[in-house]
Amino acid sequence: MVKVNENYANLAQNYLFAEIARRVSAYKAANPDKKVISMGIGDVTRPLCKAVTDAMSAAVAEMADAATFQGYPPAVGYDFLINEIENYYTSRNIPVKAEDIFVSDGAKSDTGNITDIFSNDNSVLIPDPVYPVYMDSNVMLGRSISLIDATEENGYLPLPDDSTKGDIIYICSPNNPTGATYTRDQLKIWVDFALKNGSVILFDAAYEAFVSDPELPRSIYEIPGARGCAIEFCSFSKTAGFTGTRCGYTIVPSELEFGGVKLAKLWTRRQSTKYNGTAYIIQRGAAAVFSPEGYAQTRENINYYRENARLIMDFMDKKGISYTGGQNSPYIWLKCPDGLGSWELFDKLLNSAAVVGTPGAGFGKNGEGRFRLTSFGSREGTVEALGRLDLIF
Amino acid sequence: MVKVNENYANLAQNYLFAEIARRVSAYKAANPDKKVISMGIGDVTRPLCKAVTDAMSAAVAEMADAATFQGYPPAVGYDFLINEIENYYTSRNIPVKAEDIFVSDGAKSDTGNITDIFSNDNSVLIPDPVYPVYMDSNVMLGRSISLIDATEENGYLPLPDDSTKGDIIYICSPNNPTGATYTRDQLKIWVDFALKNGSVILFDAAYEAFVSDPELPRSIYEIPGARGCAIEFCSFSKTAGFTGTRCGYTIVPSELEFGGVKLAKLWTRRQSTKYNGTAYIIQRGAAAVFSPEGYAQTRENINYYRENARLIMDFMDKKGISYTGGQNSPYIWLKCPDGLGSWELFDKLLNSAAVVGTPGAGFGKNGEGRFRLTSFGSREGTVEALGRLDLIF
């Protein structure tokens, strides 16, 4: 008799964004005349840039011709893309080599699937609040999970102390949902902790392109020693608007090993057994992000979202609502006004202003009383949403 | 201290196709003037058909315009594709509904990732020989695996008897590598066995489009009761030349449950947590496969490969070499002539004819002395390869 994976019964009942979608659908059904503006789920709205769509159109044409048709891709990515990614790091003097780079269909897949290469007999340390996938993918494996508090007091940037324990440590910086970003000195404390304790840091850098302060690190490999303790996850979703196009990459340094086993070897085996590579057309589009035109065009989109973030921050400043993020992150993490709970604020914004945000409680207990807004909307939508919020605060 | 997944140490050292690639590279380096013809890895050579590339080009254009841009896709697939797949089954009177269908980036990912939703405390039954992913993805989890012999005596179509045990049963029909295809009566024996024993059948239908005999089943759901015991994996890779484009789908019947837990619910949760959906552009291309033009054009490509298979079968008949497959499968599974071992024949074909095949031993112990050729080459390549083989047999 088949036994299902019983750990799934321990997952929180509703995936955060599914519950939001449910409430928004109910509101829309009851208010068909209202135009709902989403500042909730972190999805982008700017179209793909011309350099990317030109490259994908050319790749589609190649696939239509027997002479240039591409079959199975390499499981870990085409060299033409891996080399561009290597250059992207090298140009910033960050020590990442082609052999460390694994292309995939996105950081969400990789942060979930990376769990495969570790024993379930590891302790897992996850910040609270944080992106739900870290927690859920480990709950599915029945692993021992402990939380480290990210709070207003520590600026949502927790650091380890002598009591901190964790074989596998998740860090997301710039953070989703808080927008808080570790300094080099702070990240060095984590790297030193991991090296001392034989821990691995799983560093989610999905929002690195939004860092505007040149003093802040955009890769954990800017920290000496990180190649000996850290895996980094990167995404084209927010950098280049690939949420619907699906491409990301993961850095597993070639020398990173535990118990004499190289993690890059395990990850290669995992990917070549349970993944068949990322579509040629998509990888051609991703490679174009690094061309001079592609870089300029994607930066233009990022600056567009930054201006949205500035408008949201100005609004919060004017209303005296405290927040983190916005400056080096597409997310603004605010303290719910009037002592509201985070789902209460969600319902208030939805019902009074037809504006959708994300309740902080969905990201962990320390998210209660907090709320996430994103800068990924259109300019018009962002301005209109702030105008509506102006009437209720 | 981090503990790696020690089960990886129990994997066979080299993934079959990596070892083939290694030997072919060495041959090419030593014989730069020789033109190697691959009849080895099951990769296609015909370009994508016009209906598919037209649909993808249109989708790329949509992604370039803010008004039609697509962000995060549904984790389980767009309705426009799911509805086409539903119609594909309905038109054959096979009971599959939209809610049973989960779109992904390919059958390899799904056959590997489906392991997530089952407890490691299940016994796994795998035919020998078979596609290596079933074995490897379960070895990675440390599961108890037993093999059921597929041999010349049973036509490479093993059936259960009273001593057969297995909570999770893998079946691939038409089979990779043997090309053997179960009849309805034979599949019914497996379905009845699974229903009686509370087993789940993981049915790999990646090659269903190559079945030419109308009496043979192309879906396990043609068998009464299968919705209560079987998951089916399907792929556009071989049907529509998507090996480099990456799209597949998995059928998890909505009523399929064990211990009161619906597998479709677990799979939805797995995919929405550890996968972020298949690219919009790719799904638009996949949907075009089901249009009248797309269907006609992909059938034309399948018939092209069928003619290659016929040429290979004629050659084997002429030489008196026995084989299975070819008729309802793109694979020809032959008995190595002259008592050669399967890697011996591999080396002989490579070194004497610069023709690459796949050694049967790579698929399991019963593959020793057997060899797989594919019909996925170009017509010219297939004809030339057979001409070269004619000189050495």
pLDDT of the residue at B18: 80
Taking CA–CA distances from B265, the nearest residue in chain A reads: A8
pLDDT digits (tens, 9 = 90+) for B270-325: 999 999 999 999 999 999 999 999 999 999 999 999 999 999 999 999 999 999 99
Token pair of B207, please?
């090659």
How far apart, in whole angstroms, are the C-alpha atoms of residue B144 and residue B196?
21
| Contact in structure between A178 and A366 (CB atoms under 8 Å) | no
Asked whether the CA dihedral B192, B194, B195, B201 is positive or negative, the reply is negative
Whole-model pTM: value is 0.96
CB-CB under 8 Å, B63 with A119 = no
How far apart, in whole angstroms, are the C-alpha atoms of residue A75 and residue A59?
19
CB-CB under 8 Å, B279 with A18 = no
Taking CA–CA distances from B377, the nearest residue in chain A reads: A66
How confident is the prediction for chain B on average, in pLDDT?
Answer: 96
How far apart, in Å, do the first and last CA atoms of chain A sit? 58
pLDDT of the residue at B378: 95
Token pair of B243, please?
């090996």
B259: nearest CB among A3, A245, A246: A3
CB-CB under 8 Å, B57 with A245 = no
Q: Which residues of chain A lie closer than 8 angstroms to B50, CB-CB?
A: 64
pLDDT digits (tens, 9 = 90+) for B50-102: 999 999 999 999 999 999 999 999 999 999 999 999 999 999 999 999 999 99
DSSP element (H, E) containing A62: helix A50-63
Cα B238 from chain centre:
8
Low-confidence ranges of chain A (pLDDT < 70): 14
pLDDT of the residue at B335: 97
How far apart, in Å, do the first and last CA atoms of chain B sit? 58
Chain A residues 39-98 with CB within 8 Å of chain B: 41, 43-48, 50, 53, 56-57, 60-61, 63-66, 69-73
CB-CB under 8 Å, B244 with A273 = no
Q: What is the DSSP letter of B249?
A: E
Which residues lie below 8 Å from residue B263, measured CB to CB, with a gap of 6+? A4, B117, B200, B231, B252, B256, B257
- As beta bridge partners, residue A204 has A172, A233
Position B255 pLDDT exceeds 70: yes
Token pair of A226, please?
């990180």
- As beta bridge partners, residue B372 has B333, B358
pLDDT tier for residue B42 given thresholds of 50, 70 and 90? confident
Q: How many CB atoms lie within 10 A of CB B109?
A: 23
pLDDT of the residue at B14: 66
pLDDT of the residue at A14: 66
| Look-up of token digits 């990022």 | A302
Position B369 pLDDT exceeds 80: yes
Token pair of A332, please?
């603004």
Give the distance from residue A332's alpha carbon to the nearest chain B alpha carbon, in angstroms. 20
Cα B258 from chain centre:
26
Average pLDDT over residues B138-153: 97
CB-CB under 8 Å, B57 with A60 = yes
Token pair of B246, please?
């990456």
3-class state of residue A380 by DSSP? helix
Chain B residues 345-364 with CB within 8 Å of chain A: none
> Is the backbone of residue B259 left (phi > 0), alpha (psi -120 to 50) or beta?
left
Token pair of B266, please?
């677990």
Nearest-10 crossing angle of helices B292-319, B50-63: 140
pLDDT of the residue at B352: 96
Position B195 pLDDT exceeds 70: yes
Which residues lie below 8 Å from residue B196, measured CB to CB, with a gap of 6+? none
